[in-house]
Amino acid sequence: MSLRDRFPPVLAGVVIGLSMLAAFVVAGRGIGVSGMMTRLVATVQHALLPELTEKSAYFGRYFAGGANPLDDYLSYLMVGLLAGAFVGSVTAGDFRLEVQRGPRISTGGRLVLALIGGVITGFAARLARGCTSGQGLVGGAELSVGAWAFLLCIFAGGFATAWFVRKQWI
């Protein structure tokens, strides 16, 4: 990644912030990603185990009154997000199938850690009612105390863990 084909950090942040502001102005709500992923996985489980999922204390609300969980604001946002990143990488000549890894870890090792990190993050996002975007960025802009606690604790958790996984990254 050369410096020229990516934006300076502040400019990139302003672009992301403007997309969040647009959601405030148009929809009166924030942007988010993890909620859509939860709805996706609930839909998959519902297809396999409909009764169990509808009675689930957590997922049941998605199916109340025969609703389709994916018929939701966040799904439309996700379509746009995927298209935006896809167009960005293709126009930059950067789209390729690749396992991104540090210099000291094998491909298999990286994928195992990606899976473990995904499971932890998925659980944590549900516990915190949102992820970096829906809870952190949006709540941060709304001056939410919970969101700022979430953000600070992300950095605390990340810095506390960094030493143990250093061979993966540096």
Partner 1 sequence: MDMIAPLAKTGLISEAMNLWLAVPIGFVFGLGLYYAGFTDSRRIARAFYLKDVGVPVVMFSAIVTGMLGLWALSLIGFIDTSKMFYLPTFLVPMAVGGFLFGIGMAVGGFCPGTAAASVATGRIDAMIFVVGFLIGSILFGDLFPIWGDFYNSDYRGVFRLDELLGLDIGVVVLILTVAAIGGSLLMRAGQHYFWPQPDADVDALRARLKVQIPLVAVALVVAAVMALFPTESFIKPAPAGWFVIQKHAAAPETPEAVTAPSGDAPAEAAPAPAPAPAPARHPRGGSEGC
The 84-123 contact track toward partner 1, x by CB under 8 A, reads xxxxxx--x-xxxxxxxxx-------xx-xxxxxxxxxxx
Q: CB of 64 within 8 A of CB of 75?
A: no
Residue 41 interacts with partner 1 (CB under 8 A): yes or no: yes
Residues whose CB falls within 8 Å of the CB of residue 74, separated by 6 or more in sequence, listed in order: 32, 33, 35, 36, 39
Near partner 1 by CB under 8 A: residue from 104, 106, 153, 167: 153
Kindly determine how many residues on this chain lie close enough to bind partner 1 according to the rule CB under 8 A: 131
Residue located via tokens 């009154």: 65
The 48-67 contact track toward partner 1, x by CB under 8 A, reads --------xxxx-xx-x---
What part of residues 7-26 is at the interface with partner 1 (CB under 8 A)?
Answer: 7-26
CA atoms of 100 and 82, how far apart (whole Å): 19
